[in-house]
Homo-oligomer: A and B are copies of this chain.
Amino acid sequence: MAERENKAVIKAPLHLSEDKGAIIEAVIKAALKAVDPTEAVRRVLHREDDVLEVAGKRYDLNRFHRIVVVGGGKAGSPMAAAVEEILGDRITKGLVNVKEGYVLEPAPKRIGINQAGHPTPNEAGLEGARRIIEIVSPLGEDDLVIALISGGGSALMPLPAEGITLADKKAVTDVLLRCGATINEINAVRKHISALKGGQLARAAYPATVISLILSDVVGSPLDTIASGPTAPDTTTFADAWAVLEKYELFDDVPESVIRRLRRGLAGEIPETPKPGDPVFDRVQNVVIADNRIAALAAKEEAERHGFTAMLLTTYLEGEAREVAKAVAALGKGVAANGDPVSPPACLILGGETTVTITGRGRGGRNQELGLAAAIALDGWENVTVVTLATDGTDGPTDAAGAIIDGTTVRRAQEKGLSPLAYLRDNDSYHFLQALGDLLITGPTNTNVNDLIFVFVFPG
């Protein structure tokens, strides 16, 4: 079995002692390794001769006539290769849509990799999605579908319902984004003008068995939201979709074809997306093989291995990065000053994804900005180090994954004549951290499970 190592290299910033740097590097690597697509597939998919075990469920491979592998998402290529490692020539055929340029070596041999447009869907994606439905539709009770779902899958597997064009679909999405609709509202509409989203891939595969391996880039890992939930029950209805257009008064702004379809759906002329309890899902096993929490728990374990008391606080973190930073800093102070909630050496872990409201003209990303703001709040707290990490290795439009700051960051900035507040005001966290050697650079990690924040508190 070919070894595929996660290539991420964390250079310990110069301001850290070798010890601290080594521990931080080990924790980051453990987190990223746990959600590496290859590792994640290997961890969940176990084959012994003709028995395939998936997260506690056993499948007799002899039962299956055909085994096909389909899906879409940015992590599709390594996921497909890992499945091929395990199932080899038992795979009949397959097709996975990935983002252009996201084909990794070794590429799978029996599963086709189709490069498609992202974030804007294109014809290649549409063609691939059509073929995926063609592959699974003829399957019967004796067949198995392995679906590989990861972040970006929604745009990479665009399949507008009959009568709707890709352009129509894009127009609707644009209108919904502009009007301030929530992600749940947007999805309610999109699922009802699609032929694949909202459990419809699972329905197309019925009565075949479906094992869906899901790498989640959505906070909280809701199955119906990741890649718009192609193998998950949809709780939204045509009525919900219609209500969204009503609520935001969008009837003049969305294409006529969309209104026509929703109207037909309301009238019961088109079947609903499959709902919870639909027999389709009796044959579907949805397994989240990697997400923010899996990364966080692996990091926790690694920190504990190094003698740290580690605690995962949440994987739902959201909010404006520079303000959330103050709450994160407050946690470090609590540990350092009072041993709340645990005593040093300690590592508190938070996962999720923050946002940045850009008002300046600098360069950065949510994790870097959070790091800069945390550095300001932690000025003088020398035993506290905060690490912020975009797990895909790309924080904002930069080559950095995040920041490694500590209670000396502000002092070191002042020694160089840099004003932390001025850089923060200009949303220029990248150049600030770069000048100090406080950037965290991992390179591309080939995965994405949102962000992690580590608050390390070393003994005083």
Contacts and interface: CB of A to CB of B under 8 A. Distances in A.
Interface stretch (A14-22, A115-123, A143-151, A331-339): A331-339
A333 B323 CA distance: 19
A337 B377 contact: no
A317 B293 contact: no
A37 to B, nearest CB: 22
B318 A326 contact: yes
B334 A315 contact: yes
A256 interface: no
A320 interface: yes
A138 interface: no
Interface stretch (A193-201, A271-279, A306-314, A396-404): A306-314
Contacts of A333: 220, 314, 316
A155 to B, nearest CB: 26
B314 A319 contact: no
A75 interface: no
Given A326-B324, A327-B327, A316 B337 contact: yes
Number of copies of chain A assembled together: 2
Interface string A394-419: 00000000000000000000000000
Contacts of A314: 330-331, 333-334, 340-341
A73 interface: no
A340 B315 contact: yes
Contacts of A420: none
B312 A330 contact: no
A352 interface: yes
Given A323-B323, A337-B220, A330 B311 contact: no
B341 A313 contact: yes
A382 to B, nearest CB: 16
A126 interface: no
A262 interface: no
A407 B328 CA distance: 24
A289 to B, nearest CB: 17
Contact of A324 (B293, B315, B327, B334): B327
A329 interface: yes
Most buried by B among A319, A333, A352: A319
A315 B338 contact: yes
A312 B324 contact: no
Contacts of A330: 314, 316-319, 350, 352
B324 A319 contact: yes
B220 A318 contact: no
A288 B433 CA distance: 38
A341 B341 contact: yes
A218 B343 CA distance: 23
10 contacts: A220-B333, A312-B340, A314-B334, A314-B340, A318-B330, A319-B327, A319-B330, A320-B320, A320-B323, A330-B352
Interface of A: 220, 293, 311-320, 323-331, 333-334, 337-338, 340-341, 350, 352, 377
